[in-house]
Structure 1
């Protein structure tokens, strides 16, 4: 198929509302709204490297969908977004409530799930790589649908949702792992799933242990555990494990404004890196890390600040992804 997408996510678009209060419930910062959703962030992570026509996701456009948000999304490229009208439903919204160091999250409207069969008869049909964010039970349904679609064998990238990363969900996760090419929880989620005591500040050995166990439990090819300031641990069946540093070091924490969507954008960038790096997952993780570095520099999505219709020479947040890629590659060459 000539117009096959490289990367499509089944993650959702959400309008995120943010509320900040002290322990007594008093507002300490004005409430705000941002474009959000794990699907949106993963698509942008891929878009940092790939032309818009190679990236895609479905956006359920409720009857209350704000025109200004549609305009903002189209800046990244019309071809990325397949707007699916929902004339009798509201656009998905969620509340992110920050109280001191605690973050609460709740949906304010019903969720509309996106399935592989929804991609049929759209510009998103049969992509080369498929990303999904869900519980293991939902992942089983998604993977069964993929297998039912003739002549399609995408590389699958599974990001379990935080609520499902508990020991009680481990058996359900194990049942889907043989169909998952790349499994990627974050460090806290992986250790929680496996009942590995969490050490604060985080240390590498428990994370490496978690990755090894998740691979042994049946993940088809690769486990990547996203570990914040420690970077990401990439473990493959064929080549073993390797740490990829975070782009921003401990001495550059002022660059980190909001980590919302960092993990999602990492996996979008990973997919782009797999495409551009001929399938080398370690190199792809460097692309992924650069994508995340742009996302955490502000609240909301990073901005395209220079474009001449060539992804290779675009600038995001007034900086070049290619420059950051070379910086990070050089850091690993000298280790």
Structure 2
């Protein structure tokens, strides 16, 4: 049986450097951590789905730490497809902070993952496919998807942040008709469309309308989900009005927000899982997405997962139940 959610995002080991606004070291030290948009998306889906319904390719370089592999396997053996790269180091990136400004740069060569890499493997023909890239590369990915007879996945496209600039809009328009769900964050959406910052609910709603007018999923099934931080997420489709869904930690317990790194990626993993669990209802799936993001922002790095075998299927994340949070969030919306 095909996986329900597969990401083409990469696995990365993140390293960190912290300086003040004048460029002097702050003294803060953070050990290297598991990173990569694909990793966070896969874990976001894992919060809801069994590991054998999720998939991600991990390029395992000759220096791949055994401790990292152990941590990944704790989330489930089935979800990772390790691909040994004996001639390469594991992909690493430096996150350097200067005051509030964050810079991201790769320290090793990247090995990109495409649909052809999963064909003929246990990850073939998933129900939904997530990717993080430039618009031109999204077009290449969709060309490869169309090469596979009988495969029509729900495509969840997350534009890569540094390509969310007005010059990329023409290339984005070219691929939108092939995309099921477009999901930039609010700043990225406004930047692509040359709309003023900072985001407001009104400008976010306007950007969603514009993307749909440009042709997201012209067959009638396209949706736009704009991730808007503590404002929540705005979802609008070609067939239904737009709706705001709250962020789980938006207006309460602000101390729970420790590190938002990976929150957007995990949101989209949760969205993919939610689509599987709600028979494709993107509006309902956003509730699952918001809960997935809530577990990511509570600490630096990935959330803690524990599973009980006493009653067969009881698991907790950071000591809490995803279903409890889902019920609470839906209740806030009168559901």
For the residue of structure 2 that corresponds to 1:251, the secondary structure is coil
Local SS of the residue matching 2:207: helix
- State the match for 1:153 in structure 2: 152
- Seen in structure 2, the aligned counterparts of structure 1 residues 309 and 80 have a Cα distance that, compared at 3 Å, is farther
Distance 1:86 1:310, change over 3 A: farther
Residues 1:310 and 1:173: Cα distance change in structure 2 (over 3 Å): farther
Q: What residue is the counterpart of 2:308 in the other structure?
A: 307
Alignment of 1:182-221 (within 5 A): 182-199=181-198, 202-220=199-217, 221=222
The normalised TM-score by structure 1 is: 0.96
Question: Which SS does the other structure have where 2:224 is aligned?
Answer: strand
Please provide the CA RMSD for this pair: 1.3
Contact 2:307–2:313 under 8 Å retained in 1: no
Unpaired runs of at least 5, structure 1: none
TM-score by length of 2: 0.96
Q: Please, which of 24, 27, 30 is the counterpart of residue 26 of structure 1?
A: 24
2:263 alignment partner in structure 1: 262
Query: After the TM superposition, which segments of 4 or more aligned residues of structure 1 sit over 3 Å from their partners?
Result: 309-312
Deviation of the 1:311 alpha carbon: 8.8
What is the distance in 2 between the residues matched to 1:324 and 1:31? 30
Q: Is the 8 A contact 1:49 1:312 kept in 2?
A: no
Decide whether the 8 Å contact of 1:286 with 1:329 is kept in 2: yes
Match of residue 12 from structure 1: 10
1:118 to 1:12, Cα distance in 2 relative to 1, 3 A: same
After superposition, the Cα gap between the structure-2 partners of 1:170 and 1:252, relative to the gap in structure 1 and judged at 3 Å, is same
Distance 1:57 1:121 in 2: 14
| Total equivalences in the alignment | 330
CA deviations 1:180-213 (Å, max 9, x no partner) are 00000000000000000113xx420000000100
